[in-house]
Structure 1
Amino acid sequence: MRTDLFHLIFAPMLYCLWVGGAVSQSAETDDWTRQKCDLYSAAWQDVEASQDMAGVSDDFLEKNRNFIALGCPEGMRICAISPEDIDLANLLTVLSMNEGMASTFVPFGCPD
Protein backbone atom coordinates (compact mmCIF):
# COMPACT_ATOMS: atom_id res chain seq x y z
CA MET A 1 0.00 0.00 0.00
CA ARG A 2 2.80 2.45 0.83
CA THR A 3 4.44 1.78 -2.54
CA ASP A 4 1.19 2.54 -4.34
CA LEU A 5 0.82 5.79 -2.41
CA PHE A 6 4.41 6.75 -3.24
CA HIS A 7 3.82 6.15 -6.95
CA LEU A 8 0.52 7.98 -6.86
CA ILE A 9 2.04 11.07 -5.24
CA PHE A 10 5.60 11.23 -6.49
CA ALA A 11 5.59 9.57 -9.88
CA PRO A 12 3.73 12.45 -11.60
CA MET A 13 6.15 14.98 -10.07
CA LEU A 14 9.21 12.98 -11.13
CA TYR A 15 7.76 12.57 -14.60
CA CYS A 16 7.20 16.32 -14.91
CA LEU A 17 10.75 17.01 -13.79
CA TRP A 18 12.12 14.49 -16.27
CA VAL A 19 10.01 15.72 -19.20
CA GLY A 20 10.60 19.35 -18.30
CA GLY A 21 14.34 18.78 -18.29
CA ALA A 22 14.19 17.06 -21.66
CA VAL A 23 12.09 19.85 -23.14
CA SER A 24 14.41 22.50 -21.73
CA GLN A 25 17.48 20.71 -23.06
CA SER A 26 15.81 20.25 -26.44
CA ALA A 27 14.91 23.96 -26.60
CA GLU A 28 18.50 24.91 -25.75
CA THR A 29 19.76 22.57 -28.47
CA ASP A 30 17.34 24.06 -31.00
CA ASP A 31 18.43 27.59 -30.03
CA TRP A 32 22.10 26.67 -30.47
CA THR A 33 21.33 25.01 -33.82
CA ARG A 34 19.60 28.19 -35.03
CA GLN A 35 22.43 30.33 -33.68
CA LYS A 36 25.02 28.19 -35.48
CA CYS A 37 23.10 28.58 -38.73
CA ASP A 38 22.88 32.36 -38.22
CA LEU A 39 26.64 32.51 -37.55
CA TYR A 40 27.38 30.39 -40.61
CA SER A 41 25.10 32.60 -42.69
CA ALA A 42 26.90 35.75 -41.47
CA ALA A 43 30.28 34.17 -42.23
CA TRP A 44 29.03 33.19 -45.68
CA GLN A 45 27.87 36.76 -46.37
CA ASP A 46 31.22 38.17 -45.21
CA VAL A 47 33.12 35.71 -47.38
CA GLU A 48 30.97 36.44 -50.44
CA ALA A 49 31.51 40.18 -49.95
CA SER A 50 35.25 40.01 -49.31
CA GLN A 51 36.69 37.02 -51.19
CA ASP A 52 37.48 36.51 -54.84
CA MET A 53 35.12 33.74 -55.92
CA ALA A 54 36.87 33.14 -59.24
CA GLY A 55 37.28 29.42 -59.72
CA VAL A 56 34.68 28.46 -57.11
CA SER A 57 32.17 26.19 -58.83
CA ASP A 58 28.61 27.39 -59.34
CA ASP A 59 27.39 24.11 -57.80
CA PHE A 60 29.41 24.73 -54.62
CA LEU A 61 28.08 28.29 -54.31
CA GLU A 62 24.47 27.26 -54.99
CA LYS A 63 24.56 24.38 -52.50
CA ASN A 64 25.98 26.63 -49.77
CA ARG A 65 23.20 29.13 -50.36
CA ASN A 66 20.64 26.30 -50.24
CA PHE A 67 22.16 24.96 -47.02
CA ILE A 68 21.59 28.34 -45.38
CA ALA A 69 18.13 28.86 -46.93
CA LEU A 70 17.00 25.46 -45.60
CA GLY A 71 18.13 26.31 -42.06
CA CYS A 72 21.44 24.39 -42.15
CA PRO A 73 19.97 20.89 -42.06
CA GLU A 74 22.06 18.24 -40.40
CA GLY A 75 23.24 15.63 -42.84
CA MET A 76 23.32 17.86 -45.91
CA ARG A 77 26.69 17.46 -47.62
CA ILE A 78 28.41 19.70 -50.16
CA CYS A 79 31.38 18.27 -52.05
CA ALA A 80 34.23 20.72 -52.64
CA ILE A 81 35.88 19.67 -55.89
CA SER A 82 37.99 22.49 -57.33
CA PRO A 83 40.99 23.85 -55.40
CA GLU A 84 39.00 27.08 -54.95
CA ASP A 85 36.02 25.12 -53.54
CA ILE A 86 38.36 23.41 -51.10
CA ASP A 87 39.97 26.71 -50.05
CA LEU A 88 36.53 28.22 -49.45
CA ALA A 89 35.37 25.15 -47.51
CA ASN A 90 38.50 25.35 -45.34
CA LEU A 91 37.95 29.06 -44.70
CA LEU A 92 34.30 28.54 -43.73
CA THR A 93 35.29 25.66 -41.46
CA VAL A 94 37.86 27.82 -39.64
CA LEU A 95 35.41 30.73 -39.36
CA SER A 96 32.77 28.38 -37.95
CA MET A 97 35.19 26.91 -35.43
CA ASN A 98 36.22 30.43 -34.37
CA GLU A 99 32.56 30.98 -33.42
CA GLY A 100 32.58 27.91 -31.17
CA MET A 101 31.04 25.41 -33.56
CA ALA A 102 32.44 21.95 -34.05
CA SER A 103 33.95 21.27 -37.44
CA THR A 104 31.20 18.68 -37.91
CA PHE A 105 28.60 21.48 -38.28
CA VAL A 106 29.81 22.60 -41.70
CA PRO A 107 28.19 20.77 -44.60
CA PHE A 108 31.35 19.73 -46.39
CA GLY A 109 31.86 16.15 -47.39
CA CYS A 110 32.08 14.03 -50.51
CA PRO A 111 30.78 10.54 -51.18
CA ASP A 112 33.43 7.84 -50.95
Structure 2
Amino acid sequence: MTGRHGLAALLAASLLAASFLAGPSARGQAPAPDTPPAQLDPRNDPRAESWPKVKCDRWRSAYEQALARFGSKGIGAEFTARHDAFLASGCQAPPDVCPRSAEELNLANVMVIAGMNAGMASTFMPFACRK
Protein backbone atom coordinates (compact mmCIF):
# COMPACT_ATOMS: atom_id res chain seq x y z
CA MET A 1 0.00 0.00 0.00
CA THR A 2 1.33 3.39 -0.87
CA GLY A 3 0.11 6.95 -0.83
CA ARG A 4 -2.58 8.58 1.28
CA HIS A 5 -5.07 5.73 0.89
CA GLY A 6 -2.52 3.15 1.93
CA LEU A 7 -1.50 5.14 5.00
CA ALA A 8 -5.14 5.66 5.95
CA ALA A 9 -5.78 1.93 5.60
CA LEU A 10 -2.77 1.10 7.78
CA LEU A 11 -3.89 3.54 10.46
CA ALA A 12 -7.42 2.17 10.33
CA ALA A 13 -6.07 -1.37 10.63
CA SER A 14 -4.10 -0.42 13.72
CA LEU A 15 -7.18 1.11 15.33
CA LEU A 16 -9.28 -1.89 14.33
CA ALA A 17 -6.76 -4.26 15.85
CA ALA A 18 -6.54 -2.24 19.03
CA SER A 19 -10.20 -2.98 19.68
CA PHE A 20 -9.32 -6.69 19.97
CA LEU A 21 -6.62 -6.11 22.52
CA ALA A 22 -8.70 -4.23 25.07
CA GLY A 23 -9.51 -6.10 28.22
CA PRO A 24 -8.05 -6.94 31.60
CA SER A 25 -5.36 -9.31 30.35
CA ALA A 26 -4.21 -6.77 27.73
CA ARG A 27 -3.64 -4.25 30.53
CA GLY A 28 -1.68 -6.71 32.70
CA GLN A 29 -4.53 -7.22 35.15
CA ALA A 30 -5.74 -10.61 36.27
CA PRO A 31 -9.28 -11.37 35.12
CA ALA A 32 -11.98 -11.81 37.75
CA PRO A 33 -12.76 -15.44 38.71
CA ASP A 34 -16.23 -15.18 37.14
CA THR A 35 -14.96 -13.75 33.81
CA PRO A 36 -16.77 -15.45 30.89
CA PRO A 37 -14.54 -17.85 28.93
CA ALA A 38 -14.72 -15.66 25.81
CA GLN A 39 -13.06 -12.79 27.70
CA LEU A 40 -10.11 -14.75 29.10
CA ASP A 41 -6.72 -14.77 27.41
CA PRO A 42 -6.76 -18.13 25.56
CA ARG A 43 -2.99 -18.23 25.30
CA ASN A 44 -2.39 -18.61 29.02
CA ASP A 45 -5.66 -19.29 30.87
CA PRO A 46 -7.05 -22.85 30.82
CA ARG A 47 -10.56 -21.52 31.50
CA ALA A 48 -10.55 -19.70 28.16
CA GLU A 49 -12.22 -20.80 24.96
CA SER A 50 -9.97 -22.62 22.53
CA TRP A 51 -7.38 -20.35 20.95
CA PRO A 52 -8.26 -21.42 17.37
CA LYS A 53 -11.91 -20.49 17.97
CA VAL A 54 -10.97 -17.17 19.56
CA LYS A 55 -8.67 -16.36 16.64
CA CYS A 56 -11.39 -17.18 14.13
CA ASP A 57 -13.95 -15.09 16.00
CA ARG A 58 -11.51 -12.17 16.11
CA TRP A 59 -10.73 -12.58 12.40
CA ARG A 60 -14.42 -12.69 11.46
CA SER A 61 -15.13 -9.56 13.50
CA ALA A 62 -12.15 -7.70 12.03
CA TYR A 63 -13.19 -8.69 8.50
CA GLU A 64 -16.73 -7.43 9.07
CA GLN A 65 -15.40 -4.18 10.53
CA ALA A 66 -12.94 -3.72 7.66
CA LEU A 67 -15.69 -4.22 5.07
CA ALA A 68 -17.92 -1.78 6.93
CA ARG A 69 -15.08 0.75 7.04
CA PHE A 70 -13.68 0.38 3.51
CA GLY A 71 -16.62 -1.09 1.59
CA SER A 72 -16.65 -3.98 -0.86
CA LYS A 73 -16.07 -2.02 -4.07
CA GLY A 74 -13.35 -3.80 -6.03
CA ILE A 75 -13.62 -6.98 -3.95
CA GLY A 76 -14.29 -9.79 -6.41
CA ALA A 77 -16.61 -12.76 -6.12
CA GLU A 78 -13.72 -15.26 -6.05
CA PHE A 79 -11.97 -13.42 -3.21
CA THR A 80 -15.24 -13.24 -1.26
CA ALA A 81 -16.14 -16.89 -1.88
CA ARG A 82 -12.72 -18.16 -0.83
CA HIS A 83 -12.69 -15.97 2.26
CA ASP A 84 -16.21 -17.11 3.18
CA ALA A 85 -15.03 -20.73 2.83
CA PHE A 86 -12.12 -19.97 5.15
CA LEU A 87 -14.54 -18.59 7.74
CA ALA A 88 -16.95 -21.51 7.28
CA SER A 89 -14.08 -23.93 8.00
CA GLY A 90 -13.59 -22.33 11.40
CA CYS A 91 -10.53 -20.62 9.91
CA GLN A 92 -8.86 -24.02 9.50
CA ALA A 93 -8.80 -24.28 5.68
CA PRO A 94 -5.41 -23.95 3.97
CA PRO A 95 -4.71 -20.42 2.71
CA ASP A 96 -6.10 -19.88 -0.79
CA VAL A 97 -7.60 -16.37 -0.76
CA CYS A 98 -5.69 -14.55 -3.49
CA PRO A 99 -5.98 -10.76 -3.56
CA ARG A 100 -5.83 -9.64 -7.19
CA SER A 101 -7.28 -6.12 -7.37
CA ALA A 102 -5.81 -3.10 -5.58
CA GLU A 103 -8.84 -3.09 -3.27
CA GLU A 104 -8.40 -6.77 -2.43
CA LEU A 105 -4.72 -6.22 -1.71
CA ASN A 106 -5.52 -3.24 0.53
CA LEU A 107 -8.12 -5.30 2.40
CA ALA A 108 -5.66 -8.20 2.77
CA ASN A 109 -2.99 -5.82 4.12
CA VAL A 110 -5.43 -4.33 6.61
CA MET A 111 -6.46 -7.81 7.73
CA VAL A 112 -2.87 -9.01 8.16
CA ILE A 113 -2.08 -6.02 10.36
CA ALA A 114 -5.29 -6.50 12.35
CA GLY A 115 -4.56 -10.21 12.74
CA MET A 116 -0.98 -9.71 13.86
CA ASN A 117 -2.04 -7.01 16.33
CA ALA A 118 -4.71 -9.39 17.69
CA GLY A 119 -2.10 -12.05 18.45
CA MET A 120 -2.40 -14.28 15.39
CA ALA A 121 0.69 -15.73 13.76
CA SER A 122 1.45 -15.21 10.10
CA THR A 123 0.58 -18.86 9.46
CA PHE A 124 -3.06 -18.11 10.39
CA MET A 125 -3.66 -15.75 7.47
CA PRO A 126 -5.81 -17.10 4.63
CA PHE A 127 -3.96 -15.25 1.85
CA ALA A 128 -1.94 -17.07 -0.79
CA CYS A 129 -1.67 -16.85 -4.57
CA ARG A 130 -0.69 -20.21 -6.02
CA LYS A 131 -0.57 -19.28 -9.70
Contact 1:74 1:105 in 2 (8 A): no
- What TM-score do the two structures reach when normalised by structure 2? 0.58
SS at match of 1:97: helix
Mapped partners of 1:68, 1:79: distance in 2? 15
Aligned residues: 85
What is the percent sequence identity of the aligned residues?
A: 34
Contact 1:89 1:108 in 2 (8 A): yes
- What TM-score do the two structures reach when normalised by structure 1? 0.67
**What are structure 2's unaligned runs of at least 5 residues?**
1-45
Aligned residue number for residue 115 of structure 2 = 96
Q: How far apart are 1:74 and its partner, in Å?
A: 4.2
What's the Cα RMSD here?
Answer: 2.0
Mapped partners of 1:85, 1:104: distance in 2? 19
Aligned residue number for residue 71 of structure 2 = 52
Q: How far apart are 1:71 and its partner, in Å?
A: 0.6
Mapped partners of 2:52, 2:96: distance in 1? 17
Q: Which has the higher helix share?
A: 1
Which runs of structure 1 show a deviation greater than 6 angstroms over 4 or more consecutive aligned residues? none
Superposed CA deviations along residues 29-85 of structure 1, whole A, max 9, x for unmatched, are x81111111110110111122212211112111211221122111423211111111
